[in-house]
Structure 1
Amino acid sequence: MHYLESVGMASFSNVRWLTATLLLLLLLLAPCATHPQLSPSFYATTCPKLPAIVLSVVEKALKRNPTLGAAVLRLFFHDCFVNGCDGSVLLDDTPAMAGEKNAVGNANSLRGFEVIDAIKSKVEAACRSTVSCADILALASRDAVTLLGGPSWRVLLGRRDALTASLADANTNLPPPSDSLSSLRTRFAGKGLSLRDLTALSGAHTVGSARCASFRPHVYNDPDVDPRYAAFRRHICPRVGGDARRLPLDATSPNRFDVSYYRDLMARRSLLHSDQELFNGGAADGLVRHYSANGQAFYMDFAAAMVKMGNISPLTGAAGEIRTHCRRAN
């Protein structure tokens, strides 16, 4: 009796896993709703070596320093959330422009610019003035996720680069770690992203780290934190000083793209207040439970949400430019 029940459960589990896998494959192979001028084959004839160049540089960078994977992925998030996916986050300040790098959510925390610079240099050598920095960042973020053990997806290409950046817009649009679930939903909805997208994209915090200045209020003041977890984090992050000290967002597997982030949320071991808001008696609780138990579902929804996020207000056609250096306009 118990043997038959266990075989039945195992078979059901296998069918469920196979179904999720097939759905993920369909997502990656099927045409995606997107900006009409974006296409995965945009550079097929003008720069056919582009995918291989990007992958080789990202792979080399992650072998040297695995934390750069999360850094590159974060660059893409922070680019798309400020005036769309236009490469503006990569621009250095100039005497005439205060860019996004020194915004509250970026200063002293954005990294990985050298990876994008290295890719751009090799791409320019292969196909000059052809591929945008915005598209390089989109490809690099996908490859970083895949190399860290996460899903892959078809990256839609054809974006052009912004001529300028905005410190004020970055300060307004980037979600702070103090955000409530209600505020997060409003911010993401304003970008055309649903609660499911929000919850799946937040799973990017299964890799990466946060500064003491970002998580101090959560581990000292919030009641929804496991006491032993909070006590250890307080030891690393005192009430005064040590703002630059960093801890991994996912202490279990900080350089592995998996579902540990969601399991940490359920155990109330989240490093950031805004993350714990996803599992705090609100509308996202069910999705967190779902992803924590079903990695294939998380991968499928994350891939779909990354494609949607990559479609936020791209510059196409004659808009913007193709920068020859990602840190400055031509």
Structure 2
Amino acid sequence: MKMVAAAFAIAIGLILVNLTGALEFGFYKNKCMLTDVEDTVFRVVQRRFRQDPTIAAALVRMHFHDCFVNGCDASILLDGSSSEKTATPNLSVRGYEVIDEAKSILERACEGVVSCADIIAMAARDAVTLSGGGRYNVETGRKDGLESLASKVDLPSPKFSVSQSIDAFEKQGLNVTDMVYLLGGHTIGVTHCSLLRDRLYNFENTTKPDPTMDQALRDKLIEICPQDPSNNAAVNLDQDPSSAFKVDTSFYKQIILRRGILQLDQATALDPLTKDIVASIANSNDFNFKFGQAMVKMGAIITDSPKEIRKSCSVINSASTNNFLF
């Protein structure tokens, strides 16, 4: 009888975990007929990546921008006149068509089973893998949020001080080490002149350049980003040309050399709160593993707001229309 009671207690515990929406590895195993959900997402991302390798950084960025606003609930995908898509930091977010393609395939295979939020998390992981960052396991079991408001978009700014950024990450349950690893997402991708022109010409309203920037880098960037604000050219976040589209430790080595592009990136290599972490990562051989761990931890940011499994990633299901704020 004791064994039966114990087994019953375990079963009830598992049911409660399911009801609370806890994430788990392999959540979709045997839940989508004969379709392998994670493989399906990977094949979509792989095809898009072969057409345009820059999509990798875009998908990683989308995951970050989604999770930092009301948790990882795909609220960034919702259309609306004042939805998160319309917030200034999200105007340059792209890759929506990748998520939509994967969702369309999975809806045909098993309608109403796979959330858009999980597809974002899997796609970001696959983007990292395809960029040479190794493959980490993704927890799944998320649902999609019913609310998307531009007014709630409060992302860490690239002009934040290190302490401001630490505070922003801590509000999401992420510590300073998590933050430095997640900033390593800048090992791939680009920014634009508009976000770094002040460092070249008028740093913190001094009418002088940022003194922490390597002079050779500044000379190079002045050619790419003249003072004319109409020029908004792209600049690689990792200034090692041989590594600008690879997920590796090169980004950290570059910022140690004062060749960081964004103000916050550079500051992490110089600030006493983070410089030792940066140095350790730059000389480590386990970056891929620990970066993956940080991504999984970020992906577990979940709120208790009402959620569903959307039929289309850009709109909520019709039965929930009255709950959608935009």
Q: TM-score range by the shorter chain?
A: 0.7 to 0.9
| Corresponding position of 1:176 | 157
Aligned counterparts of 1:239 and 1:126: Cα–Cα separation in 2: 52
| Corresponding position of 2:175 | 194
1:326 shift after superposition: 0.9
Q: Which amino acid aligns with 2:197?
A: R
Q: Are 1:328 and 2:315 matched, yes or no?
A: yes
Q: Flag structure 2 segments of 5+ consecutive residues without an equivalent.
A: 1-19, 204-209, 318-326
Q: Are 1:303 and 2:286 matched, yes or no?
A: no
- Out of 32, 36, 44, the residue aligned to residue 29 of structure 2 is 44
| Corresponding position of 2:135 | 152
State the secondary structure of the residue aligned to 2:216.
helix
Aligned counterparts of 2:197 and 2:314: Cα–Cα separation in 1: 32
State the secondary structure of the residue aligned to 1:210.
strand
Number of corresponding residues: 287
| Corresponding position of 1:242 | 230
| Corresponding position of 1:20 | none
Q: Which amino acid aligns with 1:42?
A: F
1:36 shift after superposition: 6.3
| Corresponding position of 2:49 | 62
Q: Are 1:100 and 2:90 matched, yes or no?
A: no
1:110 shift after superposition: 0.7
1:46 shift after superposition: 1.4
Q: Which amino acid aligns with 2:31?
A: T
Aligned counterparts of 2:200 and 2:169: Cα–Cα separation in 1: 25
Aligned counterparts of 1:156 and 1:180: Cα–Cα separation in 2: 31
1:131 shift after superposition: 0.5
1:104 shift after superposition: 2.2
Tell me which moved more, 271-280 or 246-255. Answer: 246-255
1:314 shift after superposition: 4.7
- Out of 302, 310, 324, the residue aligned to residue 313 of structure 1 is 302
1:214 shift after superposition: 1.2
Aligned counterparts of 2:112 and 2:227: Cα–Cα separation in 1: 50
**Contact 1:211/1:243 (8 A) holds in 2:** no
1:213 shift after superposition: 1.1
| Corresponding position of 1:131 | 114
Q: Which amino acid aligns with 2:23?
A: L
1:218 shift after superposition: 2.3
Aligned counterparts of 2:192 and 2:90: Cα–Cα separation in 1: 11
State the secondary structure of the residue aligned to 2:88.
coil
Aligned counterparts of 1:102 and 1:254: Cα–Cα separation in 2: 29
Q: Which digits, 9 at most, give the CA deviation of each residue in 1:175-205, with x for residues without a partner?
A: 1111100100000011111111000010010
Q: Which amino acid aligns with 2:176?
A: L
Aligned counterparts of 1:242 and 1:204: Cα–Cα separation in 2: 28
State the secondary structure of the residue aligned to 1:165.
coil
Aligned counterparts of 1:80 and 1:42: Cα–Cα separation in 2: 19
Aligned counterparts of 1:216 and 1:125: Cα–Cα separation in 2: 47
**Contact 1:150/1:258 (8 A) holds in 2:** yes
1:243 shift after superposition: 5.1
**Contact 2:172/2:301 (8 A) holds in 1:** yes
TM-score by length of 1: 0.84
State the secondary structure of the residue aligned to 2:90.
coil
**Contact 2:136/2:289 (8 A) holds in 1:** no
- Out of 101, 123, 128, the residue aligned to residue 118 of structure 1 is 101
Aligned counterparts of 1:169 and 1:146: Cα–Cα separation in 2: 31
Aligned counterparts of 2:129 and 2:121: Cα–Cα separation in 1: 13
State the secondary structure of the residue aligned to 1:247.
strand
Q: Flag structure 1 segments of 5+ consecutive residues without an equivalent.
A: 1-34
Aligned counterparts of 2:270 and 2:278: Cα–Cα separation in 1: 10
TM-score by length of 2: 0.85
1:37 shift after superposition: 1.7
Q: Which amino acid aligns with 2:26?
A: S
1:240 shift after superposition: 2.8
Q: Which digits, 9 at most, give the CA deviation of each residue in 1:144-197, with x for residues without a partner?
A: 101100032221111110112010111xx2111111001000000111111110
**Contact 1:219/1:271 (8 A) holds in 2:** no
**Contact 2:44/2:102 (8 A) holds in 1:** yes
| Corresponding position of 1:225 | 213
